[in-house]
């Protein structure tokens, strides 16, 4: 078994299993705790629309509160960049289709290339803020730096793979790159991200919904602002 | 199974200054053990969600008046929870860490919840600080003044010595002085009025205002000497048992006099304690409504029961955090001010995003926090000065107390007024 076979086979299976089981464990750590009933008379009922509202409204900058504008703009940049490159780049859709059968229409290559550049620059800026901003430096731990590293790595290894146009898609299974080991390294970097995600701050990809929902319904009950 | 410790805080960072009080003669390990047990008891699903979700973005810092007033990173709201995040993750903490964090948990957090607005993950940091205070109280690490007033409230029924005897004497004096009937200990009434000890002892005109308004409305009301004190220092200091006891006194008094509505005074945390936590302390839904006085006045205005004359001049309104931002009653005072025909000049970020006065959460009682609190108060003064309003009103006597202190400290020209007293002063004359 060569490196690519490992990355496409056991490596991927193990990392996906760790990702799924790890995320389930992370959520279990939360949901195993009691949720005492709230007997106060609600100002608004039902309160679940408040949960839904909070999930979406918290995607926007808060009103009336000063924001760290540059950092927030940068965060939008690399989140959107990451989403575009993961979900709209033709080879990534082909990858998903190979394993699940699911597929959707990709966007032209330049979109993914620009998105990757934005994401990489954004992550570099994010690291700069974390190292130079007094508040972020104080709050930061190994988790923050390692999570940054495992997020950046697939972007860099993916950039090393680009060698020809991928869109329009000539066939759903793109040919192997000239240097297959680069694809193996790219896949392994993704697998490292999947393995780490449930255990560090990257789990916010899932926890963001739990946390905003919780606050949304609690505060909607009171008619309070989120 | 506990995860490996990947989130040890940044190294080489200046720790909070060592300044702390303590209660009891416990060993360090006993203090830590008690804090751990208390925090474990408080770890509900919501608390766990929040403690798992922080992404360390630091956006909460800009929302905190204590950070903005100092630009010292240690006042970043989520940092105030650092030892408690470690407790949650079953990591070891030391008594020294708890002592170090006393200033961050008590002196420099008013529980105002502005940081919650800023948090992209929606973490209710003020709610977590309340839990952290439970742990600190259990560890016997509460600022002396705050513990003293909380203990006095437990012992005498009032943190400022407004005992039932003092209350009766005050009511007799005020009724006589102002020629107004103040209902006390009626066996039955539709409305139970509760008070803040700050009103009783420092702003007694509030009691007169209440009586004038309720009498004018022809309401069936009473104050009960067995359940009048709404100030809840159990909540502020972090003692849930004391908090429950204070709440149950009012709840029992309301049940005894068969009140349909319990009206809370101009006090922010009293609203949190009874309106949103009272039923949970009681263990079942309350058999009566709970309204803040501003909500009660707004209802009366809406129902046409409170004819008012026009308030001359411009006014700005300071939103008490626990009533507006965290209580959901932001519109009530504005309805009342509209009924007064007031020229309301809102502050920048008025309403839900309002800057705290800096004295909530018991901070105004902690004298070693005065310097920092005064610096935070400068934000508030700037907000108010920007409106150019002639008058300044609020519906929280603790905010009012903090403003009076700030006014004296800075020799500021603005005088905080009570919304309740403004209403009483502008009751329309009875039709002949």
* Residue B286, min C-alpha distance to chain A (Å): 7
Percent above pLDDT 90 for chain B: 94
Positions in chain A short of pLDDT 50: none
pLDDT at B380 over 50: yes
Q: Are residues B190 and B228 in the same domain?
A: yes
pLDDT at B278 over 90: yes
Considering CB atoms only, which of B3, B46, B61 is closest to A214?
Answer: B46
**Listed range (B4-13, B223-232, B420-429) with the worst mean pLDDT:** B4-13
**pLDDT tier at B426, thresholds 50, 70, 90:** very high
* Sign of the C-alpha dihedral computed for residues B358, B359, B365 and B367 taken in this order: positive
Q: CA separation (Å) from B257 to B4, B125, B223, B254?
A: 57, 38, 10, 5
Cα of first residue to Cα of last residue in chain B, in angstroms, is 78
Instruction: Report d(CA B221, CA B241) in Å as an integer.
Output: 29
Q: Where along chain A do its domains lie?
A: 3-45+65-206
Number of other CB atoms surrounding residue A31 within 10 Å: 11
Residue B19: the pLDDT is 73
CB-CB under 8 Å, A138 with B79:
yes
Residue B3: the pLDDT is 47
CB-CB under 8 Å, B353 with A33:
no
Q: Exposed (0-12), middle (13-18) or buried (19+): which is B155, by Cβ within 10 Å?
A: exposed
Mean pLDDT of chain B: 94
Q: Exposed (0-12), middle (13-18) or buried (19+): which is B133, by Cβ within 10 Å?
A: buried
Q: How many domains does chain B have?
A: 3
CB-CB under 8 Å, A199 with B280:
no
Domain final residue pick, B267, B301, B335 = B301
Instruction: Report d(CA A127, CA A149) in Å as an integer.
Output: 10
**Chain B residues with CB-CB distance to A147 below 8 A:** none
**Listed range (B12-21, B43-52, B332-341) with the worst mean pLDDT:** B12-21
Q: Are residues B119 and B165 in the same domain?
A: no
Residue B1: the pLDDT is 42
What is the tens place of the pLDDT at every residue in B223-248? 999 999 999 999 999 999 999 999 99
Instruction: Report d(CA B407, CA A20) in Å as an integer.
Output: 58
Q: Select from B290, B196, B200 the least CA-distant residue to B251.
A: B290
Q: Are residues B173 and B284 in the same domain?
A: yes
* Residue B169, min C-alpha distance to chain A (Å): 34
CB-CB under 8 Å, A64 with B352:
yes
Instruction: Report d(CA A152, CA A200) in Å as an integer.
Output: 15
The SS3 of residue A48 is helix
Q: Select from B179, B178, B80 the least CA-distant residue to B131.
A: B80
Domain final residue pick, B103, B119, B142 = B142
Q: Are residues B273 and B376 in the same domain?
A: no
pLDDT at B283 over 60: yes
Q: Are residues B183 and B202 in the same domain?
A: yes
Domain final residue pick, B96, B118, B142 = B142
- Residue A140 has φ and ψ, to the nearest 5°, of -75, 150
Query: Would you identify the CATH topology of the domain A3-45+65-206?
Result: Fumarate Reductase Cytochrome B subunit (1.20.950)
* Residue A133, min C-alpha distance to chain B (Å): 9
Q: Is residue B412 part of a domain?
A: yes
**Chain A residues with CB-CB distance to B284 below 8 A:** 39
Q: Are residues B230 and B361 in the same domain?
A: no
**pLDDT tier at B17, thresholds 50, 70, 90:** low
Q: Are residues B311 and B284 in the same domain?
A: no
Instruction: Report d(CA A62, CA A69) in Å as an integer.
Output: 11
CB-CB under 8 Å, B277 with A64:
no
**Chain B residues with CB-CB distance to A134 below 8 A:** 71, 73
Q: Is residue B216 part of a domain?
A: yes
Q: Are residues B157 and B130 in the same domain?
A: no
Can you give the CATH number for the domain in which B46 is found?
1.10.1060
Residue A67: the pLDDT is 86
Q: Are residues B134 and B257 in the same domain?
A: no
Best B53, B104, B260, B353 residue to mutate vs chain A (most A CBs within 10 Å) = B53
**Chain A residues with CB-CB distance to B114 below 8 A:** 65
| Domain encompassing residue B382 | 305-425
Nearest CA in chain B to A26: B52
Residue A176: the pLDDT is 77
Best A35, A38, A40, A142 residue to mutate vs chain B (most B CBs within 10 Å) = A40
Residue A162: the pLDDT is 86
Q: Exposed (0-12), middle (13-18) or buried (19+): which is B98, by Cβ within 10 Å?
A: buried
B222: left (phi over 0), alpha (psi -120 to 50) or beta: beta
User: What token pair was written down for B263?
Assistant: 């009206």
CB-CB under 8 Å, B278 with A215:
no
């Amino acid at each position: 078994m060569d490196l690519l076979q490992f990355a496409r086979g056991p490596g991927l299976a193990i990392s996906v299993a760790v990702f799924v089981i790890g995320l389930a464990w992370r959520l279990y750590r939360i949901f195993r705790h009691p949720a005492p009933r709230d007997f106060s008379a609600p100002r608004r009922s039902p309160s679940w629309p408040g949960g839904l509202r909070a999930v979406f409204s918290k995607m926007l900058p808060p009103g009336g509160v000063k924001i760290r504008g540059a950092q927030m703009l940068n965060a939008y940049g690399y989140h959107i960049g990451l989403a575009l490159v993961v979900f709209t780049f033709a080879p990534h859709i082909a990858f998903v289709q190979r394993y699940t059968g699911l597929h959707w229409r990709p966007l032209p290559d330049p979109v993914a290339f620009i998105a990757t550049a934005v994401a990489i620059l954004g992550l570099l800026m994010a690291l700069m803020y974390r190292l130079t901003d007094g508040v972020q430096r104080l709050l930061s731990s190994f988790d923050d730096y390692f999570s940054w590293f495992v997020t950046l790595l697939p972007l860099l290894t993916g950039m090393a793979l680009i060698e020809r146009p991928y869109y329009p898609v000539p066939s759903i299974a793109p040919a192997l790159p000239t240097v297959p080991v680069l694809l193996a390294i790219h896949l392994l970097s993704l697998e490292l991200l999947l393995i780490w995600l449930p255990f560090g701050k990257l789990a916010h990809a899932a926890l963001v919904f739990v946390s905003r929902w919780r606050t949304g319904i609690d505060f909607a009950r009171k008619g309070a602002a989120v | 199974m506990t995860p490996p410790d990947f989130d040890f805080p940044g190294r080489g960072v200046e720790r909070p200054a060592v300044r702390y009080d303590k209660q009891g003669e416990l060993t360090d390990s006993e203090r830590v053990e008690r804090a751990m047990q208390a925090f474990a008891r408080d770890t509900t699903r919501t608390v766990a969600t929040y403690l798992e979700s922080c992404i360390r973005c630091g956006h909460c810092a800009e929302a905190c008046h204590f950070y903005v007033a100092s630009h010292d990173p240690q006042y970043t709201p989520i940092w105030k929870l650092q030892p408690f995040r470690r407790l949650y993750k079953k990591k070891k903490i030391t008594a020294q860490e708890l002592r170090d964090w006393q200033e961050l948990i008590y002196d420099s957090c008013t529980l105002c919840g502005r940081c919650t607005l800023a948090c992209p993950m929606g973490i209710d940091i003020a709610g977590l600080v309340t839990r952290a205070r439970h742990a600190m109280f259990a560890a016997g690490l509460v600022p002396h003044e705050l513990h003293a007033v909380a203990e006095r409230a437990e012992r005498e029924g009032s943190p400022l010595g407004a005992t039932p005897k003092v209350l009766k004497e005050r009511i007799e004096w005020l009724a006589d002085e102002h020629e107004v009937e103040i209902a006390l200990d009626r066996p039955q009434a539709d409305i139970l009025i509760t008070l803040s000890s700050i009103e009783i002892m420092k702003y007694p005109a509030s009691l007169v205002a209440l009586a004038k308004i309720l009498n004018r409305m022809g309401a069936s009301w009473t104050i009960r000497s067995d359940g009048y004190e709404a100030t809840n220092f159990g909540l502020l200091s972090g003692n849930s048992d004391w908090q429950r006891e204070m709440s149950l006194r009012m709840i029992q008094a309301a049940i005894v006099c068969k009140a349909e509505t319990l009206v809370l005074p101009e006090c922010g945390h009293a609203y949190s304690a009874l309106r949103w936590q009272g039923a949970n302390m009681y263990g079942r839904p309350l058999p009566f409504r709970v309204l803040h006085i501003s909500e009660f006045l707004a209802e009366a205005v809406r129902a046409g029961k409170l004819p008012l004359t026009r308030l001359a001049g411009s006014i700005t309104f300071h939103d008490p955090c626990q009533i507006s931002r965290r209580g959901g009653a932001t519109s009530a005072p504005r309805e009342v001010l509209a009924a007064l025909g007031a020229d309301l000049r809102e502050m920048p970020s008025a309403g839900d995003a309002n800057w705290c006065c800096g004295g909530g959460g018991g901070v105004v009682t902690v004298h070693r926090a005065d310097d920092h609190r005064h610096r935070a108060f400068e934000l508030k003064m700037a907000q108010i000065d920007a409106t150019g309003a002639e008058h300044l009103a609020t519906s929280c006597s603790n905010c009012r107390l903090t403003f009076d202190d700030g006014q004296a400290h800075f020799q500021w020209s603005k005088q905080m007024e009570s919304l309740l007293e403004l209403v009483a002063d502008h009751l329309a004359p009875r039709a002949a």
